[in-house]
Amino acid sequence: MGWIPLQSWNQDRFWDLDTGTELQIETQYPQQVILKLDSQGALKWNEDVDAGFVKEGVDVLKLKVLAEQLGYEQAVVEGAREAVRFTKGDYGFVLHKGEQRADIYWKDILSKSVVLSSIPQQQEGEWYLEQTDVNLLFGLSPIPWYEGHAYYEGGYKVELGKLPEKLTGTTAKLNAFLYDTQVQWTQKNLKDAIQPRLSLEENNDLGGKDALSSITVAPVSKAVTADTVTPLYHLSTSRTLTSGPHDLNIVLRVGERIVWMQPWHVVME
C-alpha cells in the first residue's frame, strides 16, 4: 500500500466507480479582504480606508468597500424605493431600505428571498451590513490575520461530467469531488468557515424537505490532524422525486452566494 501525491492544479482527478462522480470542483485563487481595528473602534482596509465599525463586538461592514475589493458592481435599483443591487457575474442580491430581507438573483432571475439577522444600515448614503449577513450574502468566511482579521471568498471551477438521463427508484443523488488546496476545513482557526454545499432544486424549492447535502474528507485521502491540509473532499446531494420527468437545477452555493447552476432534465423510472 502506498500514497500517490495529488496535484489538482495539474488536472489530476479521481473517479468513484462505485457511486459515480458527476462533478469535479476545483478551488480558484481566493480573494480576501483584510481589516484592522483602530483605536477609535473603526475598521480599516489598507490602513486608511474606512471599511466599517465594531458594535457590541460585531463587525458592521461598509458594502462599498467589500464590493470593490471582491469585484462586485453596485447599482441603485430603478423603480424601487431605495434599494441597492450588488452583482458579480451571474450572481446578485438586492437590499431594501428598512427591510430585513435580501433578494437573491441568478442571471437576473429571482431565485429566493432570505431573512437577514438585522435590517441593513445606511450612513451618509452608504450601505452597511452586520458580519452574519455579509457572510451569508457574499459567501465569506472570517479568518484570523496577523494584527487584524480577514474575510475569505472561496471561488470554484466546476467541471461537469455526464449526467444520467434516467434514474431508477425515488431518490436522485449526485456526487462530486472537491479539490480544495486553499481552505483547510479541519483547521482549528477555520471552524467558522462556510463550506460549499450542493443541492438539487425543482421550482426553487431548495431541494425539498428531505434534501441532503454533505461534505466529508474523501476516503482516498490520507488521515490528517486538525492542522493539516486535506486537498480532497467528497460532496454529495440527494432528494426524493416522484416517478416521471423532472426539470432540476444543480446548484453550488457558499452561504447564499450561488457559485454555479446547471439545469438537469431527468426521468425517474
Q: What is the pTM of this model?
A: 0.86
Q: What is the DSSP string of 102-122?
A: EEEEETTEEEEEEE-SSPPEE
Can you give the pLDDT at residue 149?
Answer: 87
The DSSP element (H or E) to which 66 belongs, if any, is helix 63-70
How many CB atoms are located within 10 Å of the residue 214 CB?
13
Can you give the pLDDT at residue 28?
Answer: 81
Per-residue confidence of the chain (269 residues) as pLDDT tens digits? Answer: 444 455 544 556 666 655 667 888 988 877 889 999 888 889 999 888 999 999 999 999 999 999 999 999 999 998 777 999 999 999 999 999 999 999 999 999 999 999 999 999 999 989 999 999 999 999 998 887 777 888 989 888 899 888 999 999 999 999 998 887 655 544 555 566 788 899 999 988 888 888 888 887 765 555 555 555 556 788 899 999 999 999 999 999 999 999 999 999 999 99
Contacts 24+ apart (CB under 8 A), 113-121: 114/256, 120/95, 120/96, 121/60
Q: Which of 223, 222, 232 is nearest to 184 (CA)?
A: 232
